[in-house]
Structure 1
Amino acid sequence: MQHARADYYDYSLVAVIVLLICFGLVMLYSTSSYMAEVKYGNDMFYFKKQAAISVACIVMALIISRIDYHILYYFTTILYVAAFGLMLLVKTPLGTAANGAQRWLQIGPIQFQPSEIAKVAVIVCLPCMIIKMGRRIKTLKACMVLLGVGGLLAFGAYQFTDNLSTAIIIFAITVGLIFVAHPDTKIFFILGGAGIAGIAALVMFLNATVSVDGDISFRLRRIMVWLHPEDFADTWGYQTIQALYAIGSGGFFGRGLGNSIQKLGSVPEAQNDMIFSIICEELGIFGGIIVLLLYAYLLYRLFFIAQNAPDMFGSLMVSGIFIHIALQVILNIAVVVNLMPNTGVTLPFISYGGTSIVFLMAEMGLALSVARQIKFKDS
Structure 2
Amino acid sequence: MSPTTAEPARGPSRRAITATAFAFLVTMMGTTLPTPLYSIYSAELAFSPLTVTVLFAVYAVGVVGALSLFGRLSDDVGRRPVLLVAAGLALLSAALFLLPPSLPLLVVARVVSGLGAGLMSGTGTAAVIDLFPAEKKAAAGTLAVAANTGGLALGTLLAGVLASAAPSPLTTPYAVHLVLCVVALVGLLAWAPAPAHLGRLRVRPHRLRVPASIRGAFARAVLAAGTGFAVTGVLTAVTALFLARELHLESHALAGSVVFLAFAGMAVGQLVARRMRPRVALPVGCAGLVLASAALATALAGATLVPLIVAATVLGVSGGLCLNAGIATTVEQVPPTQRGEVSSSFFAGLYLMLAVPAIGVGLLTSVVGLREAGLVFAAVVAALAAAVGTVEVVSARRAD
Please give the TM-score of this superposition, normalised by the length of structure 1.
0.31
Structure with the higher strand share, 1 or 2: 1
Please give the TM-score of this superposition, normalised by the length of structure 2.
0.30
Bigger-Rg structure (1/2): 1
